Structure 1
Amino acid sequence: MIDFMIISFIIGFLRKGNLKGLSEIPLRRLEIIFASFIIRYMPLFLKGSLKEFASNHIIAISIISYTLLLCGLFSNWHIKPLRPVAIGVFLNFLVIVANGGKMPVSLWAVDAAGLQDYKADLFNPDYLYHTALTPSTRLAILGDIIPLPRPYPNPRVFSIGDLLMAAGVFILIQEAMLKKMSSSGKIKGR
């Protein structure tokens, strides 16, 4: 998502937008959204037995973090560009929960994106957030199946949910940088 946010800002500036509108987005329940990210990504910084505990309980960590994130996003349903973000997060949540707390990743897409060095990690049970997509994967169509290869500077593999999230964030940033948002979340002209 960071890549798409940076691209959104660059395009916003090229379109003569400014950052002031971002501070005027009428976001609610930001504390829930931040808490979800802390819970989701804290295990990446754990060591030893704490990391092992997180690995053994990744399904619970995923459910708690995604539930908080969805609550935060649905409390912002009044902001139209956040609707595809919420739907994308929900789709990712479904496939992650259906597969034991990890996002399944297509090996074909990994190869197509030129990320062969990461394939071994997808078969490592201690790899926290991703796993290889196999014939037994549930809801495989919602997994990371879309490759983004070079010449993109940061090749990756992403999901339909990620695509919806990126589109929503892009639209939100563009509308905020180019126009004002009312307290109801509707966009007004300058």
Structure 2
Amino acid sequence: MILLFFALAGILIATLMNLFHGEKNRYQNIMEIRGLWLPILGLALELPFSCFPAFAAKVGWLFTISSYLCIFAFLILNRKKRIPVSLIGLGAFCNFFVIACNGWRMPVSARALSVYQNITAEAVYAKRANYFVASNGANFSFLSDILYIPVPRIGGFISIGDLLLGLGTAFFIIQILADKSAWEK
């Protein structure tokens, strides 16, 4: 959900930049994006974790690796957008790394989760099979979901990787939709 927030922020910022320069959004530039179906497929490969948690828990590594391969392939295809692709790539790598180092599940900080009353480790696992509460610690826990975002309907917990992914996504959208002359001034 937080990634959607960053995408919408990128659209809004590009629109404001274009309005300031007397231009319209450059929707025709969307054709410059190569392999747009790859991140969509990558996100779809995450659905079994919330829709079929018992099944996904058995082969979580398969869904996780497939999902991140889609994301990394998209980044390679769009490598000309250096800054946004670098941010997205670093964020995706951070998330993949911490997930791989913790049995193919993302740790959620027990301290961060304490802001919710009556949320147990079982409730977290029942909602998303690829998460666990790191009450006894986790490998590379500083990369796990430790940042609390207190915004209703959008908020929750994010990792440093999620933050980098979001910023990279916003910059990517801005580079696509904003008038090129806005970058040169």
Residues 69-104 of structure 1: CA distance to partner in whole angstroms, max 9, x if unpaired?
212222322212122011101110011111112111
- Residue aligned with 1:124, SS: helix
Does the 8 Å CA contact 2:46/2:63 hold for their aligned counterparts? Answer: yes
Q: Distance in 2 between matches of 1:41 and 1:12?
A: 30
**Counterpart for residue 108 of structure 1:** 111
Q: Distance in 2 between matches of 1:105 and 1:125?
A: 14
In the TM superposition, what are the counterparts of 1:92-171 in structure 2 within 5 Å? 92-111=95-114, 114-116=115-117, 118-121=119-122, 124=125, 127-150=128-151, 154-171=154-171
- The 1:118/1:12 distance shift into structure 2, 3 A limit, reads farther
Deviation at 1:153, TM superposition (A): 5.8
Does the 8 Å CA contact 1:106/1:143 hold for their aligned counterparts? Answer: yes
Amino acid at match of 2:100: V
Q: Distance in 1 between matches of 2:69 and 2:16?
A: 36
Higher helix share: 2
TM-score, normalization: structure 2?
A: 0.79
Q: Percent identity?
A: 23
- The 1:84/1:56 distance shift into structure 2, 3 A limit, reads same
Amino acid at match of 1:20: R
Q: Distance in 1 between matches of 2:111 and 2:175?
A: 36
**Counterpart for residue 40 of structure 2:** 34
Does the 8 Å CA contact 1:55/1:126 hold for their aligned counterparts? Answer: no
Matched, 1:83 2:86: yes
Q: Distance in 1 between matches of 2:123 and 2:79?
A: 34
Residues 21-51 of structure 1: CA distance to partner in whole angstroms, max 9, x if unpaired?
47436222334333322222244334xxxx5
5+ residue gaps, structure 2: none
In the TM superposition, what are the counterparts of 1:10-25 in structure 2 within 5 Å? 10-15=12-17, 16=19, 18-21=24-27, 23-24=29-30
- The 1:68/1:43 distance shift into structure 2, 3 A limit, reads same
Amino acid at match of 2:35: R
Q: Distance in 2 between matches of 1:160 and 1:172?
A: 18
CA RMSD of aligned residues (A): 2.9
In the TM superposition, what are the counterparts of 1:172-183 in structure 2 within 5 Å? 172-180=172-180
Does the 8 Å CA contact 1:82/1:172 hold for their aligned counterparts? Answer: yes
Deviation at 1:117, TM superposition (A): 5.0
Say which structure, 1 or 2, has more relative contact order (CA 8 Å, 6+ apart): 2
- The 1:145/1:126 distance shift into structure 2, 3 A limit, reads closer
